[in-house]
Amino acid sequence: MVPRLSELLGPLGSKLAKLERDAKAVHLLSAGDEASFAVLLASPVRPAQLEICARAVRDLRLRGAVLVPPEGRPQIIGDPTLPDAAEQGSAPLLMRPDAFAQANAEANAALRRSVVERLAARPRERILELYCGNGNLTFAIAAAGAEVVAVDSAASSLELARRCAGSASGRIRFVQGEAIRVAEALAAEGLRFDALVVDPPRKGAPAIGSLPERLGCSRVVYVSCDPAALARDARQLRESGFEPIALQLIDMFPQTRHAEALMSFARQGSL
């Protein structure tokens, strides 16, 4: 862990000890010297829990905290949103501890560069991005002048993405919904895209099947944190007429058995 979070573990653990029975997990987030946290609860938010977290924010001089109940809107203390300025130009990404973010800033910057390189998007091309999160890849893709339709199911992530869209908003359309279902609906409407970017959770995108073909895509860039899911989905893509072009591993999780993989495909006959 980065030094700011390593030094925070002990003191924050002590402050949140009374939440042990209520909390399913605690997520930490840092940017430079700033830090915030989220508590994922097993039950609705209670006033005593809010007070415990507010005291932790105050005593440890944190930016803020988020309490996330099983249902309903999260409860926010202070301002837990932090900027991720790495290679995002004048409009840095926004992160919040209850929304997904890659764990390794340096490796994530390398991932963005590799996705842009493999995608090789040209101005005015139409790109469909599934599982876009807070726009981690979206803005880097749009910077090439491409038009991007970016899809994710998490309202908190899309809220952050829309806040930092800035001047790129005219080239990016964010859509909330289950990624594969939205893509199938777009294909059914007859919409066509030049390329597909997929960055799914660990389970992968098991229903990807012939989607790229139905969407008119000539190429696919697939980001995966699970080799088995990638192998399964890559087989589907190949059976649908997309040949693998390149495979790159990025050590997103040093000193563990996990790795981030980026695999690119091209439609047969378009090479």
pLDDT digits (tens, 9 = 90+) for 158-177: 999 999 887 566 789 999 99
In terms of Cα–Cα distance, which of 177, 175, 174, 233 is closest to 202? 233
* Cα–Cα distance, 162 to 143 (Å, whole number): 16
Tokens standing for 214? 């139905």
Cβ atoms within 10 Å of 265's Cβ, excluding its own: 25
CA distance 86 to 88: 6
The C-alpha atoms of residue 125 and residue 194 are separated, in whole angstroms, by: 6
pLDDT of residue 92: 75
List the catalytic residues.
225
Q: Is the pLDDT of residue 89 over 60?
A: no
Residues making up the chain, counted from first to last: 271
Collapsing DSSP states into helix, strand and coil, what is residue 122?
coil
Nearest to 197 by CA among 97, 103, 264: 264
Structure tokens at 179: 């990624």
Is the pLDDT confidence value at 88 over 80?
A: no
Average pLDDT estimate for 115-130: 95
- The DSSP string of 255-266 is TSS--EEEEEEE
pLDDT > 90: percent of the chain: 82
Contact 267, 241 (CB under 8 A): yes
Whole-model pTM?
0.90
CATH code of the region 89-267: 3.40.50.150
Whole-angstrom Cα distance, residue 91 to residue 163? 10
Q: For the chain, what is the mean pLDDT?
A: 93
- Count other Cβ atoms within 10 Å, centred on residue 132: 27
H-helix segments, the chain: 3-15, 47-59, 105-119, 138-142, 155-163, 179-188, 211-214, 227-239
57/258 Cα distance (integer angstroms): 32
State the Cα–Cα distance between residues 89 and 142, nearest whole angstrom. Answer: 12
Residue 261 vs residue 90, higher pLDDT: 261
Give pLDDT tens digits for 12-52: 999 999 999 999 999 999 998 999 999 999 999 999 999 99
pLDDT of 86 = 60
CATH number of 3-80: 2.40.50.1070
- Give the residue with greater pLDDT, 169 vs 74: 74
Q: Domain extents for the chain?
A: 3-80, 89-267
